[in-house]
Structure 1
Amino acid sequence: MGRKSKNKPLPLHRVVMVGSGGVGKSALTLNFVCNQFFEEYDPTKVDAYRKKVSLDGVDCEIDILDTAGQEEYAPIRDNYFRCGEGFICVFDICERSTFENTKEFREQICRVLGHDNAPFILVGNKIDLEHMRKVSKSEAEARAREWNCKYIETTAKIKEDEKEEDRSVFQLYITVARMIRDYKQTHPKNDSSKSLLSCFRSCFGK
């Protein structure tokens, strides 16, 4: 009898969350990974998560690096931007300054990567607070057109009896994973199976 072949590792797609502090990056990530909405959690420094999903009928894993938005962490952003294959840039629709700050994050990502065509989604979060909105959907869509990227609005809050696949957060991560998969078909990387955390550590020689 022939020797059984080892199971091949699942395709891995690396996503980096960026945006100002307090916009809900961790809430979105934990909603997707844990299927829960957390009212309170410790402010993020850098956390890594992984979830197995079916992407267009094919199992894969999504690796997520949830980064800190505070200014004191700006000096290390270059390192985790180098690790990403796709980027979710989040702002709070109720805080105009966080929308303005997306320009800086976008510019830094493009500078680090040396191009502006990496999978990238601009996200307006906290649409459950529509009555407090300070950034209109049309304005955010205009910026997405300027950047030639997708714009998606989300909330990390879960409605009663809402199915996972129907939530805007789930569709957000599926969309970015699909964009990464398609991008890698024409832009292959030798280390695409390397986890975000190990990639991030290697940036610091650890």
Structure 2
Amino acid sequence: MAKAKAKQSLPLHKIIMVGSGGVGKSALTLQYMYGDFVEEYDPTKADCNYTNSYRKKVVLDGQECQIDILDTAGQEEYAAIRDNYYRSGEGFLCVFSVCEQESLEHTQEFRDQILRVLDDETHKIPFILVGNKVDLAHLRKVPATEAQSLAGEWRCPYVETSAKTRQNVEEVYTMLMRQIRDRKAKQQQSSSPDKDSCCVIL
């Protein structure tokens, strides 16, 4: 009973994976969760009406917490469903393939949808632009400078990953969890009453 209570009290950070089909959202998630690279897995074709959710306990900067990852594979065309998923998220990994120019262009649509749904005019939602499949250097179509420039416009980090070699996979999830944690801490500070301005009536 005590163990269950301790587990429930751990901080929970909710991450949503967004991006075009086939860019490796599921491959990144499965590599992070289980250390496996699933080359043939294509949820956009196999499970077009499914959204996969994953949760595990991790240690973030010395503190135990839980990460919840929602992979929105195949849900892009269902606006109402997609918007509900976005509302449940605390941070977003927006993934494109460095081998596909069009997938980078689509990231703008995903970002616009997220900002609209969450009504975030200040653009402070934890968000990272992720260029995946960097192991396929011979097929690369998107220069790092182009993606970095876009991330600069969005005022968010840009990280290049490979779900196959595990390059930066751990790092990108950790980076986003830190953003989420720090944002929550700021929100708690701003919502807690100022002790100095407290008025006591006797």
TM range, normalised to the smaller chain? 0.7 to 0.9
Q: Corresponding residue for 1:108?
A: 113
Stretches of structure 1 lacking an aligned partner (at least 5 in a row): 160-166, 189-206
Confirm whether residue 126 of structure 1 aligns to residue 133 of structure 2.
Answer: yes
Q: How does 1:22-171 map to 2 (within 5 A)?
A: 22-44=22-44, 45-69=50-74, 71-115=76-120, 116-158=123-165, 167-171=167-171
Q: How many residues align?
A: 178
Residue 77 of structure 1 and its aligned partner are, at CA, apart by: 1.3
How has the CA–CA distance of structure 1 residues 79 and 70 changed in structure 2, closer, same or farther, with 3 Å as cutoff? closer
CA contact (8 A) 1:94 1:135 kept: yes
Give the number of the structure with larger relative contact order, counting CA–CA contacts within 8 Å between residues 6 or more apart. 1
Flag as ranges the 4+ runs of structure 1 deviating above 4 A. Answer: none
Please say which structure displays the higher CA radius of gyration: 2
How has the CA–CA distance of structure 1 residues 138 and 177 changed in structure 2, closer, same or farther, with 3 Å as cutoff? same
Q: Say which SS state the counterpart of residue 187 (structure 1) adopts.
A: helix
CA contact (8 A) 1:21 1:70 kept: no
Q: Say which SS state the counterpart of residue 50 (structure 1) adopts.
A: strand
Report the identity percentage: 59
CA contact (8 A) 2:97 2:133 kept: yes
| 1: CA distance, partners of 2:40 / 2:95 | 18
Q: Corresponding residue for 2:175?
A: 175
Aligned CA-pair RMSD: 1.8
Residue 174 of structure 1 and its aligned partner are, at CA, apart by: 0.6
Residue 186 of structure 1 and its aligned partner are, at CA, apart by: 1.4
CA contact (8 A) 1:125 1:154 kept: yes
Residue 71 of structure 1 and its aligned partner are, at CA, apart by: 4.6
CA contact (8 A) 1:13 1:61 kept: yes
Residue 76 of structure 1 and its aligned partner are, at CA, apart by: 2.0
Residue 182 of structure 1 and its aligned partner are, at CA, apart by: 0.3
| 1: CA distance, partners of 2:119 / 2:32 | 30
Opposite residue 60 of structure 2, the aligned amino acid is: L
| 2: CA distance, partners of 1:79 / 1:184 | 20
Listed one character per residue, the Cα deviations across residues 89-114 of structure 1 (whole Å, up to 9, x for unaligned) are 00001111100000000000000111
| 2: CA distance, partners of 1:17 / 1:107 | 15
Residue 43 of structure 1 and its aligned partner are, at CA, apart by: 1.1
